Each structure stands twice: as C-alpha cells, then as structure tokens.
Copies of this chain bind each other. A is one copy, B any other.
Amino acid sequence: MKIGALARKTGTTAETIRYYERTGLLEEPPRTAGNYRDYGPTELARLRFIRRARDLGFTMAEVRQLLSLSDDPSQSCEAVDSIASLHLREVDRKLGDLRKLRTELRHMVDDCQHGAVGECRIIEVLAG
C-alpha cells in the first residue's frame, strides 16, 4: 500500500504520515523499486491507533507513551490508566473553562442592542 492509500484508509494525508515518520511516531517503512513507501497491515494498525488517540485529544507525547505501553502486553495497565485519567481531568478542566466562556459570550451577545458601536455592550464589556 502506498502512502496515499494509507492516508485514505485512516482519514489522514500523506503529509501528516510523513510528518509522523519524521518525528519518530511511525517507523520508516520499506520502499518499492521506485522508492515509494510501502505500507502493510502493521503500519495501518499503528496509524489507526495514533489517529484514534489524537482524535481523543491525547498529545503526541502521550500517544508515544501509549504506543510503547501497548507494545508490552504483560505489563500492568496502571500507567495507561494514569495517562488516560490525567487526560480526562484535563478535558474536564477545559470543558469548565469553555462553559464559563460561553456564558460570558452569550450575555455579551444577548445584551447587544444592535445600535451604534458607541453604546455597543460587546465593546463596553471588552473595554471594561
């Protein structure tokens, strides 16, 4: 499988895959006679893993850790749980922040009387 096909199968782009390779998240695959990257099911699975973790908001560093943990199936999954739980707490914090922010924005927009900028509530709030 060439890079474009792998990209289509994983909802990525060839550029992103090459970027993952550059940064060491993916290993260098074998090449065809014409110097094209040649991917098999192992790489497909690894990239799917990476994309799922990234879609769940894990950072590249966390993905790296999760990958190396998943490579040693006999180990305790404590470390995995701790990465995921930490991330969950982080997401909760962000949710809280975003909800507060939404409330403020909502008030601001609701109070706008659609008049002149001079008495615009939005501008007033921002100007303090």
Contacts and interface: CB of A to CB of B under 8 A. Distances in A.
A98 B91 contact: yes
B84 A116 contact: no
Give the number of copies in the complex: 2
Contacts of A116: 73-77
Interface range for A: 35 or more
A57 to B, nearest CB: 6
A84 B107 CA distance: 11
Interface string A46-80: 00110011001100000000100110111111101
Given A66-B122, A95-B102, 7 more contacts: A56-B126, A72-B117, A75-B116, A77-B112, A80-B117, A80-B123, A94-B98
20 contacts: A49-B127, A52-B126, A56-B105, A66-B122, A66-B123, A66-B126, A69-B117, A70-B117, A72-B117, A73-B117, A73-B118, A76-B114, A77-B117, A77-B120, A80-B122, A81-B112, A81-B114, A88-B102, A91-B105, A95-B102
